Amino acid sequence: MKNKINEILVNDEKASLNKIAKELDISMIEVLREAPTVKKYDIEKIDDLFDILRGWEKVFLLVITPSFVLEIQDKFPKGFYAHGFLNFHDKNSTIGGHLSVGKIKEIFLVKDIMFGRESYSIKFFGEDEKEIFAVYVPRNEKKELIEECLESFKSL
């Protein structure tokens, strides 16, 4: 499968990983596990990752369900652990909620193509192999990737 994915990426520089999943009739997580443009992130370092994200000017957070795509751009919030969740409550961010960190089983650092442009994201997948949420390197008002955030992403 790795060879097929790589072949598509080499022959079509505008191919998105989602398009590849559909073309090969496999799940997105299977593509992420095999694509040469994706790295796995150590789940044991998730708190370090959240600390890094808090250092970004802003994040572009996506939560995708079959019927809704929720997009939020803001500072990544501070949180605290209680009652089995990482609770995001930060007066400096509109992002809030409760994350069951223990249910995150894989984290991927993804370079992809979205709407014809290079895109970078951190995707969090659960035990059911479905995406829980993703954090994208944000763009400025000119739709360019914010350089400091991109460099931080690339250093992960």
Q: Each residue of 30-60: pLDDT tens digit?
A: 999 999 999 999 999 999 999 999 999 999 9
* Statement to judge: residues 59 and 118 lie in one domain: yes
The distance from CA 35 to its chain's CA centroid, rounded to whole angstroms, is: 15
Q: Each residue of 63-74: pLDDT tens digit?
A: 998 899 999 999
CATH number for the domain that contains residue 95: 3.40.1570.10
* Statement to judge: residues 106 and 147 lie in one domain: yes
Instruction: Examine the pLDDT at 13 and tell me if it is beyond 90.
Output: no
* Statement to judge: residues 4 and 64 lie in one domain: no
* Statement to judge: residues 149 and 134 lie in one domain: yes
Tell me how many domains the chain contains: 2
* Statement to judge: residues 63 and 26 lie in one domain: no
* Statement to judge: residues 83 and 122 lie in one domain: yes
- The burial of 88, by beta-carbon neighbours within 10 Å (0-12 exposed, 13-18 middle, 19 or more buried), is given as middle
* Statement to judge: residues 108 and 127 lie in one domain: yes
Give the predicted TM-score (pTM) of the model.
0.95
Q: Each residue of 76-118: pLDDT tens digit?
A: 999 999 999 999 999 999 999 999 999 999 999 999 999 889 9
Domain range for 30 is: 1-36
Cα→Cα distances 80→9, 62, 73, 119, Å: 40, 21, 21, 30
Residue 6, φ and ψ in degrees, nearest 5: -60, -40
* Statement to judge: residues 51 and 91 lie in one domain: yes
* Statement to judge: residues 72 and 90 lie in one domain: yes
